[in-house]
Amino acid sequence: MTASDISENQHEYADSSPDSSAAFVGAVDLVLADALTAAAVGLHEARGRDDTLRTAVQLAEKIVPGADCAGISVVERTGSVSTVAWTDETVRVIDADASYGSWDGLRSAPVMRIDDTTAWEGCGPALAAANLRSGLFLRLRGRQRSFSVLTLYARKPQAFDDRAAHIARLLAAHIGIALETAAVQEQLAEAMHTRDVIGQATGILMGRLNIDAAQAFEHLVRASQQGNVKLRDIAARIVDAATPE
């Protein structure tokens, strides 16, 4: 379900009577609930972090009223900004060039809204030059040293009202949880792979040096410490060297 679907369904219930007004509000709430449910399902079905990011920005552009394009960027405490997903190339370029201070307010508040970018000292000049006149920025769940930002832009000023900001916050909550879940799944997959590689390397050393498993693992640890190389990288080198071409 998209933002246009919401708009079309709203008109079906437009009427001047009080009862019809109540029905209209209820219908809008139901359509929004359906849209957010569909978004949650779409995020859950995404495969991996990259697919989750792509799905997230596409959903944000479609569901949040007034949005013309969307992106997700990661803001590091050091000041660097990296754009990791976008629906329009302009978003990628502008967000990647954003300064740390542009979104610093999101550390203490979950939402920043810019009604007219021509009057904004942050990325305002670049956004106005790209004909993006409104901005809505939402902090997603993040680590202690960094946080992610969902950026929404519109080509007209004052495009995002309170309702749009509310919808964006609900969607941002879904996106934040989905990204954390994807990150945990990738960490688990990496841990499983690391365990398998270390196990293979341990077995190779046991056969090659005629030692037991504990001694083989200690051998790997010493090599890691002496060479200042991660244990999994040492193990991977041993496995690669023992694998026939």
Task: Assign residue 130 the CATH number of its domain.
Answer: 3.30.450.40
Query: Per-residue confidence at 60, pLDDT binned at 50, 70, 90?
Result: very high
Tell me what the mean pLDDT of segment 178-193 comes to: 83
Please indicate, yes or no, whether residues 33 and 78 belong to a single structural domain of this protein.
no
- 37 CB-side CA count, 13 A: 6
Segment 122-159, tens digit of pLDDT: 778 888 899 999 999 999 976 657 889 999 999 999 99
- 153-175 CB burial, b ≥16 within 10 A, e <16: bbeeeebbeeebbebbbbbbbbb
Q: Which of the given ranges, 22-31, 104-113, 168-177, has the highest pLDDT on average?
A: 168-177
Q: Whole domain around residue 34: which residue ranges? A: 1-45
Concatenating the DSSP letter of every residue in 172-193 gives HHHHHHHHHHHHHHHHHHHHHH
Residue 178 neighbours by CB distance under 10 Å: 24
30 pLDDT exceeds 70?
yes
Alpha carbon 28 to chain centroid, angstroms: 27
Please indicate, yes or no, whether residues 72 and 132 belong to a single structural domain of this protein.
yes
